[in-house]
Structure 1
Amino acid sequence: MNFTKKNKVYRFLLTPPKILVIGFAFIILIGTILLSLPIASSTGVSLSFMNALFMATSATCVTGLAVIDPGTELSTFGELVILSLCQIGGLGFTTMATLIALVFNKRISVKERLVLQQAMNHGSMEGIVRLMRKVIFYSLSIELVGALLLSIRFSLDMSIGQALYYGIFHSVSSFTNVGLDIFGSIHGPFSSFSPYVNDPFVSIVIMLLIFLGGIGFIVISDLLGFRKSRKLSLHSKVVLSVSVALVVIGSIVIYIFEYSNEHTLQGLNPSDKIMASTLQSVTTRSGGITTLDIPMLRQSTQFFMIIWMFIGAAPGSTGGGIKVTTFAILIGAMYTMARGREDVVFFRNRISKEVVYKAITLTLLSFLLVIAFTMVLSVTEDRQFLTILFEATSAFGTTGLSMGLTPELSTVGKIAITFLMFLGRLGPLTLAYALSPKPQKESFRYPEGKITIG
């Protein structure tokens, strides 16, 4: 093999999208092996390989769907493995690798900067290492504050040591938008935060952690630097405005739909109803933590939540979905066409047609993925269609909310959801770029044709 052929093979194997796919797959494999050990089980009996793979994928891909209850079926070692996978998956293995490199004063190569750019969905390589330093510092600081606040509250219900452990676990789980909890041994399997539905302190802390993890590290960096720069980037303006709008709209819709539901909001006082509705709106787009019983929600609410899960969080965050910026561009394009204008404009900035096409492509690919996997699960699982669609969308959006189907999945269903969680974390476009050959510029263009639309 000559030098040219070797160089082509090298480029094929080590493009940034491929490194991301291989890196996440490797972390999941390590997690699966560790969770398969007898020491990871609370009973000393090893988890099945399929269950271990599912839980490792769920934690690494910051999804939160669970085929077993971590609080009752995992040992402390198993819970620590889950916690580590949540942290690595939430910040990204590239971020953790950068942290190790910075600790050992290792130079970050151009190739590694390209991978970091791809992982963070950043516009350029300029300042990417500086951004990664901020990501690590901000994330650990936010998780530490969240852990202390939750530990103080939990100390009223348990010993100081246990409260600190629970505070750290659930702070990381909330900020990374995983949503896995270990309250099963205290409040019952798959109980999540339902016992704290009347606790405004816990609800507010959890909402802030999920929201901060979901808006993305670029936006957090912009917000912290606002006092000095007195300006926000277009990306931050769009993410913040759309995210706040989605939270408010979601809270109002859930409040109205569930107001008279005796299984959810009806028994709560007015302030608790508002708090529970707001937390459910925040967590639906990616968080996975809930204080309401999801299977007992009205079908209208469940379908509404499917839409919110599909939209997801912000680019460069710990959340999934098509992302709020993609949703904003789609709404902007629709508004532009309806008004007979040519350009999509946000905050007096024109969005390029290439970005609009990418948003449309990503949305269509995501929609087709969810539909395809929903069809597969409709064959393998004997449940109502809405339940299956809910679970598939939750997996793709890395949300982690469940209507009770996940613990009862068949082996084929577990494989399908596992693969969908992996796709949801990486994003369909990243996987498409990883599997496709290097694009070549076309040397000619076909003549323009006309097709009737609408």
Structure 2
Amino acid sequence: MALGFGVVIATGTLLLSLPIASQSGQPVAVIDALFTATSATAVTGLVTVDTQTTYSLFGELVILALIQTGGLGFMTLSTLVALLLGKRITLKERLVMQEAMNQLTVEGVVRLSKYVLIFTLFAEGLGALLLSIRFSSQMPLGQAIYFGIFHAVSAFCNAGFDLFSKSLVDYRGDLLVNMVITLLIIFGGLGFSVVADIYTKRSWKRLSLHSKIVIRTTLLLIVTATVIIFLLEYTNTKSLAPLPLGEKILASYFQAVTPRTAGFNTLVIGDLRPVTLLFITILMFIGASPGSTGGGIKTTTFAAIAVAVWTIIRGNVDIEVFGRRLPRGTVLKALAIAAVSLLLVVTVTGILLITEQADLQMVLFEVTSAFGTVGLSMGLTPKLTTTGKLLITATMFTGRVGPLTLAFAIAQRLGRQGIKHYPEERIIVG
């Protein structure tokens, strides 16, 4: 899977380096083309050069294709092409699809890929239609349709790429744009298996435990984040303070949703208070849900750890949620993913503090945004050195591929229990 994403990024880098991809007719620097191609394929949204003013229509279409490929996964797209051509999907291909879509078994992965295509076309199509109607009041119809399609795909794939120099700041009080973008982000970040489960079961009681945890955790994070951002920024004269109450609530809600790996913003990120930026950094690290277009350690990983901690605090042995008991291996897997991810973020942050002229919060925010494939930035991205660009590029790639591959590898190893068991002895912790 990592090799497949690497090939897609290499192809995108080559195309974005062509003179035809640039508005000026001069080739974009290879390092910037590589950064943009990785950011688009990893559905991140961080950019070293402004998308609208740097790339031509050809370049923007290349970016859009990379976003769609990265969001759905190259294995999903190649499988759908193979099905259209009447080819048989081999067991090896099904295993890679299982890894790419983060499924527990290979059973039903081909059927799920069909659901993915249908739901994606429906969601992006409806979003594009609504956004095109809204944009048509401000620009020619052809441009409005193009902008609608681009931003709908970018939002559903949780990419965060936009064709406005200030993201969606100018649409901060626009209810239609805010709701369409956020709903696309949320449904894109739920995970395709959850959406399929909702469609087929259509009852909360019949949903799988996975779907229930994803839905409950997603709603909890959005509501909690909206309230916290609203309270923290309410008196900030650079963000919410000058806005009417309704616009304050809408902006708080939008910024509560986008750190879940989307990258759009209606508030200037650099103007937010340090404590708000720290809270958003935590949201970016958590990210979206397994098998979705988003990144991060995933909502289920966060939920499993949170439930385990609460169980220990209460003095219980079994880790229970929604009337079910979580296997010990699932919790260990969640802890491993969170620990390795945290180690990666801390390591890259430490290196960038040496290579870049920026403070800790700005660098940590940037690295977490790259790892979580979010795309929000305090303004450091365009100022990165070549070393910094390469590190962030590697972090985006790892954030898109690493957690999935790591989760799959750990799941396999946990299934192979050793025949030797050493004597048990306690240690003092805490």
- Aligned residue for 1:446? 422
Q: For residues 79 and 428 of structure 1, what CA distance do their matches in structure 2 show?
A: 28
Structure 2 residue 34 is matched with structure 1 residue 53: yes
Q: Which sections of structure 2, spanning at least 5 residues, go unmatched? A: none
Q: For residues 175 and 29 of structure 2, what CA distance do their matches in structure 1 show?
A: 39
- Aligned residue for 2:336? 361
Question: Does the Cα contact within 8 Å between 2:102 and 2:408 map onto a contact in 1?
Answer: no
Question: Does the Cα contact within 8 Å between 2:173 and 2:247 map onto a contact in 1?
Answer: yes
Question: Does the Cα contact within 8 Å between 1:362 and 1:429 map onto a contact in 2?
Answer: no
Deviations 1:8-59 (A, max 9, x none): xxxxxxxxxxxx1100001000000000001001101101111110000000
Q: For residues 204 and 75 of structure 2, what CA distance do their matches in structure 1 show?
A: 28
Q: TM-score, normalised by structure 2?
A: 0.97
Q: For residues 428 and 412 of structure 1, what CA distance do their matches in structure 2 show?
A: 23
Deviation at 1:111, TM superposition (A): 1.0
1:390 to 365, 371, 384: 365
Question: Does the Cα contact within 8 Å between 1:373 and 1:392 map onto a contact in 2?
Answer: yes
- Aligned residue for 1:422? 397
Aligned residue pairs total 428
- Aligned residue for 2:153? 172
Structure 2 residue 120 is matched with structure 1 residue 144: no
Distance 1:326 1:298, change over 3 A: same
- Aligned residue for 2:75? 94
2:162 to 177, 181, 186: 181
Q: Which sections of structure 1, spanning at least 5 residues, go unmatched? A: 1-19, 185-190
Structure 2 residue 57 is matched with structure 1 residue 76: yes
Matched letter for residue 213 of structure 1 = G
Structure 2 residue 205 is matched with structure 1 residue 196: no
Structure 2 residue 11 is matched with structure 1 residue 23: no
Query: What percentage of residue pairs aligned between the two structures are identical?
Result: 51
Q: For residues 204 and 289 of structure 2, what CA distance do their matches in structure 1 show?
A: 22
Q: For residues 209 and 412 of structure 1, what CA distance do their matches in structure 2 show?
A: 34
2:86 to 100, 105, 117: 105
Task: Name the SS for the 1:284 alignment partner.
Answer: coil
Question: Does the Cα contact within 8 Å between 2:49 and 2:382 map onto a contact in 1?
Answer: yes
Q: Which range is displaced more, 226-235 or 312-321? A: 226-235
- Aligned residue for 2:299? 324
Question: Does the Cα contact within 8 Å between 1:101 and 1:107 map onto a contact in 2?
Answer: yes
Deviation at 1:432, TM superposition (A): 8.6
Matched letter for residue 298 of structure 1 = R
Deviation at 1:443, TM superposition (A): 4.2
Q: For residues 229 and 248 of structure 1, what CA distance do their matches in structure 2 show?
A: 20
Matched letter for residue 137 of structure 1 = I
Deviations 1:418-443 (A, max 9, x none): 000011001346159779x9897644
1:282 to 243, 257, 263: 257
Question: Does the Cα contact within 8 Å between 2:337 and 2:406 map onto a contact in 1?
Answer: no
Q: For residues 419 and 211 of structure 1, what CA distance do their matches in structure 2 show?
A: 26
- Aligned residue for 1:221? 196
Deviations 1:111-157 (A, max 9, x none): 11111111111111111111110011101110000000000000000
Task: Name the SS for the 2:315 alignment partner.
Answer: coil
Deviation at 1:263, TM superposition (A): 1.2
Question: Does the Cα contact within 8 Å between 2:311 and 2:319 map onto a contact in 1?
Answer: yes
Structure 2 residue 113 is matched with structure 1 residue 132: yes
Deviation at 1:229, TM superposition (A): 9.5
Correspondence 1:305-344 to 2 at 5 A:
305-344=280-319
Question: Does the Cα contact within 8 Å between 2:337 and 2:407 map onto a contact in 1?
Answer: no
Q: For residues 238 and 175 of structure 1, what CA distance do their matches in structure 2 show?
A: 21
Question: Does the Cα contact within 8 Å between 1:251 and 1:281 map onto a contact in 2?
Answer: yes
Question: Does the Cα contact within 8 Å between 1:21 and 1:431 map onto a contact in 2?
Answer: no
Question: Does the Cα contact within 8 Å between 2:100 and 2:404 map onto a contact in 1?
Answer: no
- Aligned residue for 1:121? 102
Q: TM-score, normalised by structure 1?
A: 0.92
Q: What RMSD in Å do the two structures reach over aligned CA positions?
A: 1.7
- Aligned residue for 2:181? 206
1:297 to 268, 272, 287: 272
